[in-house]
Structure 1
Amino acid sequence: MDVSLTLIIIMAVLFAAGVYAMMERSLTRVLIGFLLLGNATNLLLLIVMGTPGMAPFFGEESEISDPLPQALTLTAIVITFAVSAFLLALIYRSWQLGQADTVEDDEDDVALRERTDAEDEIIDDESTPEEEEATTDFIETATTPITVLHMKDHPAIHDDAPMDVPDGAHGQEDRP
């Protein structure tokens, strides 16, 4: 086996295990799955980087390595750390409030699961052809285009603030 093939297999296993773990209702398993996905992403970027080379210094004549995958790996590490800290805070708060870290179904989830296909078709058919052709959510609301007025154009406001005057137009200001 080649080293890169081994890394590809390990990366695929980490991705599969991470996605499987994230499908659970336990927040701890979601965290573990997210960490596995983060490590699999780092391995993917390591594989994409290709053959290692010298650091990209000015004046080096040898083969240099691509710095982009290295920067993306550092970014992936930071994002994984931040989301992991957020998930740990959610797990801790969930444990404080309910002594469990599982996400329970609420009433809307149960109602959505019990809805039949016939009810879905009825809900889809409730819209009128006028609503389907509309380009806005405000069907029967009269709209006018937005016009931008300068403060000097508004009749109720008297503005004494100095204005920018173009060169050569000094003394030709018309003030109300």
Structure 2
Amino acid sequence: MEILLVVLMGLLYAAGIYMLFRRSMVKLLLGIMLLGNGTNILIFLLGRITKGKPPVIDEAAKVFTDIYADPIPQALILTAIVIGFGIQSFAIVLLKRVYVLINSDDLDDLNTPEDEDI
């Protein structure tokens, strides 16, 4: 299971970096989204995958010696998903506004001034 997630993480990073090199603002945003999802899988893998072992310690036990699922990476991923969704929705609205003003989603059109004397 872990090797499948490692391969998926590598594919998400590769596709995200490829999309970042495109000239379209929409593809740039998609690349950032793919990189964020790849990072979420990386954090999930760093917390180790354990099946069926909740992080609950018995009241009588002083030290927990059994294998358990670490809740911290799961909480971090959940927070990252919520924050990422907010940033992505803001970026989509911002890209729509830029497209309305410029009538293009090409990044090179943002750098050229309207009054070109060429």
Given the two structures, how large is their TM-score scaled by the length of structure 2?
Answer: 0.76
Residue identity opposite 1:54 in structure 2: K
Where does residue 8 of structure 1 map in the other structure? 6
CA contact (8 A) 1:27 1:87 kept: no
Residue identity opposite 2:16 in structure 1: G
SS of residue in 1 equivalent to 2:108: coil
Structure 1 unaligned regions, length at least 5: 109-176
Further displaced range: 28-37 or 55-64: 55-64
Where does residue 35 of structure 1 map in the other structure? 33
Alignment of 1:20-169 (within 5 A): 20-52=18-50, 53-59=52-58, 63-104=67-108, 106=111
Identity %: 38
Residue identity opposite 1:30 in structure 2: L
Structure 2 CA distance for partners of 1:92 and 1:107, relative to 1, 3 Å: closer
Cα distance in 1 for partners of 2:54, 2:105 equals: 45
How many residues are aligned here? 106
CA contact (8 A) 2:47 2:70 kept: yes
Further displaced range: 55-64 or 5-14: 55-64
Q: Deviations over 1:18-77 (max 9, x none)?
A: 011112221100111111111111211221121325332342775321111111111221
Structure 2 unaligned regions, length at least 5: 114-118
- Structure index of larger Rg: 1
Q: Deviations over 1:82-119 (max 9, x none)?
A: 221121012110121122122226369xxxxxxxxxxx
Specify which structure has the bigger relative contact order, considering alpha-carbon pairs within 8 angstroms and separated by 6 or more residues: 2
Cα distance in 1 for partners of 2:49, 2:102 equals: 50
